């Protein structure tokens, strides 16, 4: 059995909260309102995973599936610069794919598994920002919730399998019910993350992100197999997620 690796979030406080970083062979979910830093955290992880293991990285490439069209290469350049890394080299190690519907999203995960067997050990991280957006648009009708949850469950199982088979960390973002970018909602509680029990059970570690003062944000650890429920403050900066 391979050793679990931990990838830094860019914030020491946030790393401490989750036991050192986001872990391989595991699914970490970040949910929270719009502008709480889910996408900035996704960008930061694209860079930190490339750092040496001794520095909080996994010495690896990363695959990112973008479902909200919010990926910005320039953000990666700025984050790479913060860590004294070559921006273009950092970009070359990011395998980027856009998905336009849930079928494509599922197919991309399968394609990644094939890629990982071709290049064993090259990838230690998959990011999906967000896991839920296309489910909300593909299954927006009232009667489609069951079907949606079933497909989401299939996707989460596939992700977990890839995580374990290839010693990869899975980082997914999730929206709140009220998120205006998420299409139609038909459940009235805006304080809840989307995805219901399927996501709650399939994610190993869940982080609830909320706004603080200025560029400060607060993460609350919801579910963790081995860490206490607690909170950490982090900041969104030009150089990505920081303390
Ligand atoms: P979410 O994905 O949770 O909706 P984002 O990760 O997109 O949120 O975070 C948006 C926040 O990040 C905004 O408050 C924005 O001001 C901040 N932000 C984006 N880019 C930068 C930057 N280059 N420097 C500092 N803050 C930034
Ligand atoms: Mg976002």
Q: What is the tens place of the pLDDT at every residue in 212-221? A: 999 999 999 9
pLDDT-based confidence at 189, cuts 50/70/90?
Answer: low
Q: What is the pLDDT of residue 123?
A: 98
Q: Report residue 100 CA to chain centroid gap.
A: 18
User: Atom of ligand 1 at shortest distance to CA of 78?
Assistant: 23
Overall average pLDDT of the 162-188 stretch: 80
159 pLDDT higher than 90: yes
Calculate the average pLDDT of the chain: 93
Overall average pLDDT of the 201-227 stretch: 93
Q: What is the pLDDT of residue 151?
A: 96
Q: Which of 37, 43, 68, 73 to mutate to test the pocket of ligand 1 (most atoms within 8 A of CB)?
A: 37
Q: Tokens representing 59?
A: 């010495």
Q: What whole-number distance in Å separates Cα of residue 50 and Cα of residue 111?
A: 21
Q: What is the pLDDT of residue 181?
A: 59
Cβ count near 175 (within 10 Å): 25
Say how many Å lie between the first and final Cα of the chain, rounded. Answer: 34
Judge whether 126 and 165 are in contact, CB under 8 Å. Answer: no
- Helix or strand or coil: residue 184? coil
Is 81's C-beta closer than 6 angstroms to any atom of ligand 1? no
Q: Tokens representing 155?
A: 């996707």
149 pLDDT higher than 80: yes
- Helix or strand or coil: residue 168? coil
Higher pLDDT, 169 or 136: 169
Overall average pLDDT of the 50-71 stretch: 98
Q: What is the pLDDT of residue 195?
A: 86
Query: Distance from the CA of 208 to the center of ligand 2, in angstroms?
Result: 14
Is 39's C-beta closer than 6 angstroms to any atom of ligand 1? yes
Q: What is the pLDDT of residue 182?
A: 53
Query: Distance from the CA of 110 to the center of ligand 1, in angstroms?
Result: 30
Q: What is the pLDDT of residue 12?
A: 98
pLDDT in tens, 109-126: 999 999 999 999 999 999
Is 165's C-beta closer than 6 angstroms to any atom of ligand 1? no
Query: Distance from the CA of 165 to the center of ligand 2, in angstroms?
Result: 28
Q: Tokens representing 184?
A: 């139609």
Overall average pLDDT of the 7-14 stretch: 98
Overall average pLDDT of the 2-19 stretch: 96
Q: What whole-number distance in Å separates Cα of residue 26 and Cα of residue 19?
A: 13
Is 185's C-beta closer than 6 angstroms to any atom of ligand 1? no
Q: What whole-number distance in Å separates Cα of residue 137 and Cα of residue 68?
A: 11
Q: What is the pLDDT of residue 1?
A: 66
Query: Distance from the CA of 236 to the center of ligand 1, in angstroms?
Result: 6
Is 219's C-beta closer than 6 angstroms to any atom of ligand 1? no
pLDDT-based confidence at 145, cuts 50/70/90?
Answer: confident
- Report CA-CA distances (Å) from 242 to 7, 43, 44, 82, 149: 14, 12, 9, 10, 34
Q: What is the pLDDT of residue 60?
A: 98
Q: Which of 29, 32, 40 to mutate to test the pocket of ligand 1 (most atoms within 8 A of CB)?
A: 40
Q: What is the pLDDT of residue 223?
A: 82
Query: Distance from the CA of 70 to the center of ligand 1, in angstroms?
Result: 10
Is 36's C-beta closer than 6 angstroms to any atom of ligand 1? yes
26 pLDDT higher than 70: yes
User: Atom of ligand 1 at shortest distance to CA of 40?
Assistant: 6
Which ligand is located closest to the Cα atom of residue 210? 1
């Amino acid at each position: 059995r391979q050793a679990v690796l931990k990838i830094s979030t860019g914030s020491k406080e946030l790393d401490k909260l989750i036991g050192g970083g986001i872990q391989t062979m595991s699914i970490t979910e970040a949910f929270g309102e719009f502008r709480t830093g889910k996408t900035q955290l996704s960008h930061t992880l694209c860079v930190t995973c490339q750092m040496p293991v001794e520095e909080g990285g996994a010495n690896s490439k990363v695959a990112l599936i973008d479902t909200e069209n919010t990926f910005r290469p320039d953000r990666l350049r700025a984050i790479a610069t913060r860590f004294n890394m070559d921006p273009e080299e950092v970009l070359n190690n990011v395998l980027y794919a856009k998905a336009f519907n849930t079928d494509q999203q599922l197919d991309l995960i399968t394609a990644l598994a094939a890629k990982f067997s071709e290049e064993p050990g090259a990838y230690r991280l998959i990011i999906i920002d967000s896991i839920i957006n296309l489910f909300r648009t593909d299954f927006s009708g009232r009667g489609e919730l069951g079907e949606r949850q079933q497909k989401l469950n299939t996707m989460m199982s596939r992700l977990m399998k890839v995580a374990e088979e290839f010693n990869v960390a899975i980082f997914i973002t999730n929206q709140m019910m009220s998120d205006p970018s998420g299409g139609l909602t038909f459940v009235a509680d805006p304080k809840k993350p989307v995805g219901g029990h399927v996501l709650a059970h399939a994610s190993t570690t869940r982080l609830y992100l909320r706004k603080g003062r200025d560029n400060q944000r607060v993460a609350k650890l919801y579910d963790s197999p081995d860490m206490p429920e607690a909170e950490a403050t982090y900041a969104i900066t030009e150089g990505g997620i920081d303390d």
